[in-house]
Homo-oligomer: A and B are copies of this chain.
Amino acid sequence: MHFFSDNATPVCPEVMAAIAAADHADHGYDGDGWSARLNGAFSDLFGTQAVALWIATGTAANSIALACLCPPYGGVLCHEEAHIVVDECGAPGFYTHGASLMALPGAGAKLSPDAVTARLRAIRPDVHQVPARAISITQATEYGVVYSPDEVAALGDLAREHGLGFHMDGARFANAVAHLGCHPGDVTWRAGVDILSFGCVKNGGMIGEALVFFGDRAEARAAEAARWRKRAGHLFSKGRYLAAQALAMVEGDLWLRNARAANAAAQALAEGAAGRLMHPVEANELFVRLTEAERAQLRAQGFDFYDWGADAARLVTNWSQDAASVQPLADALRALKG
């Protein structure tokens, strides 16, 4: 049983069925009937007028969002361990034409209003220094920790006060909302988020995420994003196959059901790993202190996962699991002699 990544899993049956159902002729690019339903579907989901585009990957979604919010000479306030900083080979620099990522510390890969405020104060308002123009946070964070609606809103207030755009990388947004039990609008537009990268692939999709624009400038920004999408070679000829996946996720509650399954699996593992957890387990990732010998022992029992430095492991659960199905690993963790 493997816990490498939610990227490594198969596609969930509902998404596969949606792809098959889209397999007949229609207009190319995003001129098809499925793509035309996206705005409505995401507006319904978030309870506000939203504009949504399908985008190939999370990296592309994040970068195009930042290109809409930050000029080349500007900076994006973000956590120093954010995916955009660590794992995208400089994609934000490519799409923004060289904007700076202003990397800040914070427990659990969470950005705090204090850290943002301190950084803003340190910037001289002259042409020599890069001005901050956007905030980007990840929900759930790279350590599987979740921002509450109030925590997001506190950053949203700062963004509004300082004229900054506010982007949320929601590669695991579904897991965050499943944990919070709140309305998806509570941690996005109601809390000041301008653009959300809404993840599908880690949550059971095959290819394609959604970029969701909120607020007064949603239309204008989405029109610009559509240019970036084409210009970056991301406007697929047969875009209906991406649109159909996103619709399958959000026209019903598949996105939440899948995320709840993965979260439940993570909670089961968390109980097994009690006393070893490096971060609270709130979504579908666990960071577990495990010696080299312990990791070898688990692998010998058929459990696969990534090492996290010398003395820990990362375990990621996914839509195809639940509390019951991961019980063998939970038991194996419990059985380790710490």
Query: Chain A interface (Cβ within 8 Å of chain B)?
Result: 2, 4-5, 7-11, 16, 19-20, 23-29, 55-64, 71-73, 75, 86-91, 93-101, 127-130, 201-202, 206-207, 224, 226-238, 241-242
Question: A236 to B75, alpha carbons, bound, how many Å?
Answer: 23
Question: A75 to B129, alpha carbons, bound, how many Å?
Answer: 20
Asked if B91 and A233 make an inter-chain contact with CB atoms under 8 angstroms apart, the answer reads yes
Residues from chain B with a CB closer than 8 A to the CB of A94 are 72-73, 97-98, 231-232
Residues from chain B with a CB closer than 8 A to the CB of A4 are 27-28
Residue among A20, A91, A96, A231 facing the most chain B CB atoms (10 A cut-off)? A231
In the complex with contacts A56-B236, A233-B63, A90-B86 CB distance below 8 A:
no
Question: A86 to B129, alpha carbons, bound, how many Å?
Answer: 6
Question: A91 to B73, alpha carbons, bound, how many Å?
Answer: 8
Question: A73 to B64, alpha carbons, bound, how many Å?
Answer: 13
Residues from chain B with a CB closer than 8 A to the CB of A127 are 89, 226-227, 229-230, 235
Question: A207 to B45, alpha carbons, bound, how many Å?
Answer: 27
Asked if A73 and B231 make an inter-chain contact with CB atoms under 8 angstroms apart, the answer reads yes
Residue among A4, A95, A238 facing the most chain B CB atoms (10 A cut-off)? A238
Residue among A90, A207, A227, A235 facing the most chain B CB atoms (10 A cut-off)? A90
Asked if A201 and B238 make an inter-chain contact with CB atoms under 8 angstroms apart, the answer reads yes
Please provide the 3 A-B residue pairs with the shortest distance between their CB atoms, ordered closest to farther.
A60-B233, A93-B98, A7-B28
Asked if A7 and B237 make an inter-chain contact with CB atoms under 8 angstroms apart, the answer reads yes
Residue among A4, A20, A71, A230 facing the most chain B CB atoms (10 A cut-off)? A230
- Report the minimal beta-carbon distance from A94 to chain B, rounded to whole angstroms: 5
A199 and chain B: residue at smallest CB distance = B237
From B60, B128, B206, give the contact of A87 (CB < 8 A). Answer: B128
Residues from chain B with a CB closer than 8 A to the CB of A206 are 19, 238, 241
Question: A236 to B94, alpha carbons, bound, how many Å?
Answer: 17
Residues from chain B with a CB closer than 8 A to the CB of A95 are 233
Question: A71 to B241, alpha carbons, bound, how many Å?
Answer: 30
Residues from chain B with a CB closer than 8 A to the CB of A19 are 19, 206
Asked if A230 and B91 make an inter-chain contact with CB atoms under 8 angstroms apart, the answer reads yes
Question: A135 to B95, alpha carbons, bound, how many Å?
Answer: 24
- Report the minimal beta-carbon distance from A203 to chain B, rounded to whole angstroms: 11
